[in-house]
Structure 1
Amino acid sequence: MDQEIKEKIPLKIYFVLFVSFLSILSIVGQITILGKQVYDITGRELDLGLLGLAEFAPTFLLAPFTGPLADRMDRRILFAWALLGEGAVSITLFWYATTNPTSVMPIFGLVIVLGIFRAFAAPSGRALAVDMSPVSTVPRVVAFSSIAMQSGVIIGPVLFGFLFVAYEPLPYLVSAICLGSGAVILSFVPSSKVRLLKTSGAKNALADAFEGFKFIRRTPMLFGAISLDLAAVLFGGAVALLPAIAEDRLGVGAVGLGWLRAAVGIGAGAVAIKMAIRPLSRHIGRTLLFVVAIFGLGTIVLGLSQNYALAFVAVLILSGADAVSMFIRATLVPLATPGHMRGRVLALENVFIGASNELGAFESGVTAALMGLTGAIIFGGAGTLAVVVIWWFCFPVLRKVDRFEEVQTFTEGHVD
């Protein structure tokens, strides 16, 4: 145990984590502003849901190819090219915003293109830091990765909210600069030595992708953890409705919305710092189910809130609980996955994450159109609580996981 605590995290990993921070800052900040612009143009909650659907569709459709590609080529190079593609979309959004847009269709089209590049960036970017980490440092690297991500979630919406007030197209230009800078930094990071997949061809790509799915399916602990996130956040996707909550319920503008969206990162970031200092070490499975239940309760409180302070606290609580869930899942998955399969497994997990976040946004938009804003959010929180009860009984192997060391079974392809 003492050796694990003393082992240093290689310097190159911190550069990768900084690139992840720039990427998340740009994407989350940009999506927040896009939601604001779309709602300003149409005034319909449903369009916020459609925005999430446009973001998710490429991740779902391209998963059979993005995962195997991340296992076949240098993940550092793939991540860099994907960031450059996202930067190009941001430049196009900057140009469109300067035209005083009155239609949301070009925005939806550009978000689909953005989603295509995100589908390639996610599995390569998420696997890269773990690839370079000694096995004993993986939980701490995951915690630092969560800090980098949540820092981007905090700073992005607030910064872009102020930039939007100063000049509406400016957030997209700043996003492009950050994404391009991340690609440049990656060019100076040495490659990992994880063994690459050698197969080629479209038929083999589909077979390889299916191998990743079979691996998740025959590992009940992984399947339970990943599907729990899908089911719970699919119901609890109230964050997508924050533009409508801020405008219609709380009466605040872009800056108030930015801070409310940043509360997601503040709550999660505080938890991530705690995890980096003192990582969770016992009762892993029960803790995962418990924090998902807290997420559902926080969502219900958000649905009932009528003032800004209560809504802000509710978002802090539900995002902090979600951060613990993310930390557990993000540590379990790479520890239980062979290095040469990590791209495929993470690409499929990214589909689950995208389904929970973006399809959750779509579900929230549709239910808000049918039930109203308050009814949709309360329904989502109650659905999350129901999911926890079902998973408690359906996945006892997940509930009984006590330590991360219990799942450190597959280290093939990992370089210490």
Structure 2
Amino acid sequence: MTDQPRSPAHIPDYRRFWLTRFCSWLAGGGMAVIIGYQLYDVARQDYHMSIAKASFQLGIMGFCQFVPMFLLSPVAGVIADRFDKRNVGLMSIAVDLVVAASLWAATGLHALSLPLLFGLGALHGLARVFIGPSIGSMAPLLVPPALLPRAVAMNSMAMQLATIIGPAGAGLLFAVHPTAPYMGAVILLAIGFLSMAGLRRLPPHAGSRDQHPIRQIAEGFTFVWNNRFLLGCITLDLFAVLFGGATALLPVFARDILHAGPEGLGQMRAATAVGASLMGIVLTARPISQNVGVKMLVAVGVFGAITVAFGLSTNYFLSLGLLAVLGAADMISVFVRSTLVQLHTPDEMRGRLSAISGLAISASNELGEMESGLAAALLGATGAVVMGGIGAMAITVLWAVFFPQIRRARTFSPHLEQG
């Protein structure tokens, strides 16, 4: 009898999976930053737009990338459940690789234009729509249930590291040569593609292709709606980030409140990811295993309280520390929620549930930015962040009351111990 692996890292297929996700996140984060910069620069230099009009183009780009997520996430979830997840992931990475290569060529040939950037940006968003449900739902198929919490922590840590390294690295490469970030993205995506190709086949669950796709989409949403535990987990994150997200207003704090300038803005954006990465390392070494529901609720409450403190802070270094704590609290919440959702989802529905969860996260981020902007116009940046943090804490209390199934979750086991 062979020894059972003690860590996800001891499983070759998981290592290939982890490398694929890390390379994909790293390439995607860097590309997003450079596409935005080039879009603004082209609008100003080639189309002679004012600062306001050029800035508006960035909003259009965000809309172009959000629309595929909003419209196609349910479809992507069904495809991930009906076909081999490995093959769907390979095709998605291949599309993103084509986008990176096209931007590399267009930048080198000085052929960038707004329509081209909008089109490639939308195609990049489309690739990400299918990468999420296909690759994001693989972990439970590659590691035994006992190791899944540790695998989730390692996945989250990889994402946070990519969030730190990707944008900063792309900026440094862009300073060397405008084509360098895209060349790097092509290399990373190629590594991810080859690593994914080395995985064993992950065929769909028996019977998953017998139903009509529309019925499967409806079944996914119905399953979440009728399962109050999963509904509570997914919507807790959605509404907490919707009200408590301060990321959209960081430029205001960096320039006019903390007087840290653009360098400070970069450090502030990195501080949250650093805190999350450090917490990810802790959770990888010592995963949470007891009273997981209460700990998730507490983490979201801390997220809201730290958001309030950040909004009131006028000291730059204190604000950096608060953002790091904010990232750590968010990591605990993401770790517990992701593990619970994965373990409480039937194999035949993992793609659809991953798509629904991804759609909720995307919606909370995009709508949260809009909500923050509107609130700042009415209350000022400080007032908007403080009220948002209070809102996140209120959501935590309400969800603890309305969804007692979360509060009663003692362990990650699908058979919840209730008290």
Mark yes or no: TM-score above 0.5: yes
User: Where does residue 356 of structure 2 map in the other structure?
Assistant: 348
- State the alpha-carbon separation in 2 of the partners of residues 85 and 309 from structure 1: 41
User: Where does residue 137 of structure 1 map in the other structure?
Assistant: 147
> Is 1:273 matched up with 2:273?
no
Q: How does 1:71-220 map to 2 (within 5 A)?
A: 71-94=81-104, 107-168=117-178, 170-192=180-202, 195=205, 197-199=207-209, 204-220=212-228
- Identity between Structure 1 and Structure 2 (%): 37
Deviation at 1:287, TM superposition (A): 1.1
User: Where does residue 24 of structure 2 map in the other structure?
Assistant: 23
Deviation at 1:380, TM superposition (A): 2.3
In structure 1, runs of 5+ residues without a counterpart are 410-416
- State the alpha-carbon separation in 2 of the partners of residues 10 and 193 from structure 1: 19
User: Where does residue 400 of structure 1 map in the other structure?
Assistant: 408
Whether the 8 Å CA contact 1:52–1:361 is kept in 2: the answer is: no
- State the alpha-carbon separation in 1 of the partners of residues 106 and 18 from structure 2: 31
Higher deviation after alignment, 181-190 or 222-231 = 181-190
Equivalent residue in structure 2 for 1:238, among 224, 241, 246: 246
Deviation at 1:262, TM superposition (A): 2.3
Whether the 8 Å CA contact 2:31–2:181 is kept in 1: the answer is: yes
Higher deviation after alignment, 243-252 or 26-35 = 243-252
Alpha-carbon spacing, 1:250–1:11, altered in 2? closer, same or farther (3 Å): same
> Which of structures 1 and 2 has the larger relative contact order (alpha carbons within 8 angstroms, sep 6+)?
1
- State the alpha-carbon separation in 1 of the partners of residues 398 and 385 from structure 2: 20
Equivalent residue in structure 2 for 1:382, among 379, 390, 403: 390
Q: Deviations over 1:11-54 (max 9, x none)?
A: 11011111111111222233344555667764688766655444
Q: Deviations over 1:98-138 (max 9, x none)?
A: 68899867545443322211111101111122211122221
Whether the 8 Å CA contact 1:49–1:366 is kept in 2: the answer is: no
> Is 1:58 matched up with 2:38?
no
Q: How does 1:315-326 map to 2 (within 5 A)?
A: 315-326=323-334
Alpha-carbon spacing, 1:301–1:168, altered in 2? closer, same or farther (3 Å): farther
Q: Please give the root-mean-square deviation of Cα atoms over the aligned residues, in Å.
A: 3.1
- State the alpha-carbon separation in 1 of the partners of residues 84 and 142 from structure 2: 12
Deviation at 1:385, TM superposition (A): 1.8
Equivalent residue in structure 2 for 1:226, among 221, 231, 234: 234
User: Where does residue 299 of structure 2 map in the other structure?
Assistant: 291
Q: How does 1:36-55 map to 2 (within 5 A)?
A: 42=51, 51-55=61-65
Deviation at 1:222, TM superposition (A): 0.8
- State the alpha-carbon separation in 1 of the partners of residues 58 and 308 from structure 2: 20
TM-score (ref. length: structure 2): 0.85
| Count of aligned pairs between the two proteins | 405
Deviation at 1:70, TM superposition (A): 0.2
Deviation at 1:302, TM superposition (A): 3.1
User: Where does residue 259 of structure 1 map in the other structure?
Assistant: 267
User: Where does residue 320 of structure 2 map in the other structure?
Assistant: 312
User: Where does residue 48 of structure 2 map in the other structure?
Assistant: none
Alpha-carbon spacing, 1:308–1:27, altered in 2? closer, same or farther (3 Å): farther
Higher deviation after alignment, 238-247 or 54-63 = 238-247
> Is 1:358 matched up with 2:369?
no
Partner amino acid, structure 2, of 1:219: N
Alpha-carbon spacing, 1:26–1:378, altered in 2? closer, same or farther (3 Å): farther
Q: Deviations over 1:137-177 (max 9, x none)?
A: 21121121122222212211221232244345533332233
